[in-house]
Amino acid sequence: MFISDAYAETAAATSGGIMDFLPLVGLIAVFYFLVLRPQQKRAKEQKIMLDAIQRGDEVVTAGGAVGRINKVFEQYVGVELAENVEVTLQKSAIQSVLPKGTIKSIK
């Protein structure tokens, strides 16, 4: 007497399927252009720099040591840090190549 008949409501209509994915696609595009693409560009420049290293180049290592390249191998380089002090490093440990004469100017 007090309870009226209960009817199930019809399901709400869904919007277009492609419109639901547009924000996700936009977010992926922004991530690509702001993060991935610049990172790939830097990696490519680093590889070109490492491939061009030759004997006599002045370099800065990832640890901050400044030295001159004495030997170049496929994956390693010999770096002279001081007179009669040479270390062997992986090429990937070279941070940057300095202009010629930098070591003399900072001594």
Higher pLDDT, 44 or 2: 44
- What is the tens place of the pLDDT at every residue in 29-82? 999 999 999 999 999 999 999 999 999 999 999 999 999 999 999 999 999 999
Give CA angle at 32 (26, 34), nearest 5°. 100
Q: Is the pLDDT of residue 106 over 70?
A: yes
Least confident of 17-21, 70-74, 87-91, 92-96: 17-21
- What is the tens place of the pLDDT at every residue in 6-25? 666 666 656 667 888 888 99
pTM over 0.85, yes/no: no
Cα(51)–Cα(31) distance, rounded to whole angstroms? Answer: 29
The closest of 101, 8, 105, 2 to 58, measured between CA atoms, is 101
Contacts of 60 (CB under 8 A, 6+ apart): 66, 94, 95, 96, 98
